[in-house]
Amino acid sequence: MVPGVSAATGRDRAVLAFDDRQYTVAELDALAGGMAGTLVRRGVRTGDRVALMSSNRPEFVVALRAIWRIGAAVVLISPSWKHAEVAHALTLTAPVLGVGDQPLLAELLPTVHFDDPSAGLPGASEATGNVQGASEATGNVPGASEATGDTWPPAAPESDALFVFSSGTTGMPKAVRHTHRGFATAIRHWRDALGLTAADRMQIMTPPSHILGLLNIATVLDTGGWLRLHRRFDIATMLAHIESDRITIEMAVAPIALAIAAHPDLESYDLSSLRYIMWCATPVTKTVADAVTERVGVQWVSAYGASELPVIACCPIGAARLDTVGKPVSGVTVRISAAGEIEVRSDSAMAGYLPEAETGSVFADGWYRTGDIGHLDEDGWLHITDRLKEMIKVRGFQVAPAEVEAALHAHPAVADCAVFGIPDPADGEAIVAAVTGQAVPESGLIDWVGARLASYKKPRRVVFVDEIPRLPSGKVLRRVLRDRYARRAVSS
């Protein structure tokens, strides 16, 4: 399954934009063919895994298509990760080669850098219809006998397509494994939920290494729509391109939604092309959504998913209710366990985790246990009220308290610590660390974690306490700490 564009839309139609450059289907295919040839020459074979660690750029899309074209699986590494996080991910998934633009990856794995001319890669930023390397990508490909150009044998539906990362119960990230069949199903579910057609236009400012960014890219290209990639999020750039590119669907995690609502000149932009703005990854802040609607008339839609099962529920287009995450999408079945946990069954569910021992804890008779507490009302709307898991969700990214605690424990001034999340209007949740030991500046401990883990895993606050409340088993009573912190905030 290689996301592409149906022949009916025309191979010479532009489908991807970046800065002032646009790419047609034919150009993307030629670029992917050239890169596929490079990967094969570097020893990648059908069934291998290739690590992809990249900033937002068109080469990410090209690499994704090239890896899938030769029947290999993509291991998505976040460019925000530090050395220990990347090293753990590579040990867990054992890729044979790296591809991307991050020097850190090349320190740990033989890597083809996008911008290295000696690698023989077709540079996407200078692509033309006659792409260097494309001709070399034909024929003599191990595992793809007699394949030439666009006739590479399709990957087996049940073979691995994708590894993304979610937090493990031990604190280190675990790899979420998706097959070609499963991810193709997720794309179909997302297209149907969005009401997406080839006439739609979208822009991506979220990291493509996260399941949401990847799913948006793959779904738009598979449907035949038009997509603009941005290097990073910038609210003025976003609003300007909604106007100039006539964007029809905008994706917004909480920080983006807040930035839209707070923009002083929002009314000066022509946002009339938008069919709706989709709020993802964190619960909707209704006052923020309502403020945007009142100012410019754009409606909001909310959706719910996970790295393990990308699309669970979505509000019906044109009939959204922002007090819920919507109704289960077609092809997804939701039930509520006796404990109130939301459980889901779908062909789009992951094939399992690496390490494999983690998989059994989240599946019960074929039902994926989300770790979220909620209920279905009498009309079938799904409501989320709490989380069974201890994971902290920051800007859509799951953060394991144990991972942050391990970083803090390495500081010589920290005797004991515990990490928990508190509600935050911008990020969904903010990380707070309770620490015992030698008194040191709060900023010093925050920077200590930031030097070892991704920036979104840094504590927002560090509070010094007399003791960390624990059960006799040693389990941290995070709810006690959270309640104490709340009382302290109220009294201060």
Domain-located, residue 458: yes
Helices 25-41/58-69 angle, 10° precision: 60
Span of 267-276, 313-322, 359-368, 389-398 with lowest mean pLDDT: 389-398
In tens, the pLDDT along 209-250 reads 989 999 999 999 999 999 999 999 999 999 999 999 999 999
Quote the Cα angle for 222-302-368, to 5°: 75
Domain-located, residue 425: yes
CA distance 398 to 160: 23
3-state secondary structure of 67: helix
How far is C-alpha 343 from the geometric centre of its chain's CA atoms? 21
Domain-located, residue 465: yes
CA distance 202 to 200: 7
Which H or E run contains 217?
A: helix 211-223
Residue owning tokens 């015992």: 436
> What is the average pLDDT value for the chain, to the nearest integer?
88
192 in Cβ contact with 104 (< 8 Å): no
Domain-located, residue 160: no
Identify the pLDDT of residue 492.
65
Domain-located, residue 410: yes
Helices 254-262/235-245 angle, 10° precision: 80
pLDDT category of residue 473 using cuts at 50, 70 and 90? low
Domain-located, residue 211: no
* Residue numbers of the domain that contains 408: 392-491
313 in Cβ contact with 329 (< 8 Å): yes
Query: Of 398, 429, 407, 406, whose CA–CA distance to 305 is shortest?
Result: 398
Tokens, residue 449: 């974690």
In tens, the pLDDT along 399-412 reads 888 889 989 999 99
Tokens, residue 228: 């603009």
Share of the chain above pLDDT 70, in %: 89
Q: What is the pTM of this model?
A: 0.84
Identify the pLDDT of residue 407.
92
State the first-to-last Cα distance of the chain, in angstroms, to the nearest integer.
56
Domain-located, residue 473: yes
Residue 352 pLDDT exceeds 60: yes
Query: Of 217, 229, 163, 164, whose CA–CA distance to 191 is shortest?
Result: 217
CA distance 431 to 447: 14
In tens, the pLDDT along 163-205 reads 999 865 556 789 999 999 999 999 999 999 999 999 999 999 9
123-152 burial, b at 16+ Cβ within 10 Å, e below that, comes to bbeebeeebbbbebbbeebebbeebeeeeb
Backbone angles phi, psi at 293, to 5 degrees: -60, -40
Span of 24-33, 63-72, 135-144, 480-489 with lowest mean pLDDT: 135-144
Share of the chain above pLDDT 90, in %: 73
Tokens, residue 442: 């709060």
* Beta bridge pairs of residue 399: 392
CA distance 211 to 160: 16
**Which stretches within 336-457 are classed as H helix?**
401-409, 442-450
Residue 13 pLDDT exceeds 50: yes
Domain-located, residue 336: no
CA distance 377 to 329: 15
pLDDT category of residue 206 using cuts at 50, 70 and 90? confident
26 in Cβ contact with 134 (< 8 Å): no
Identify the pLDDT of residue 128.
35
One-letter amino acid at 140 equals N
CA distance 435 to 463: 6
In tens, the pLDDT along 112-167 reads 999 877 555 555 544 333 333 333 333 333 333 333 344 567 889 999 999 999 86
What is the number of domains present in the chain? 1
CATH number at residue 451: 3.30.300.30
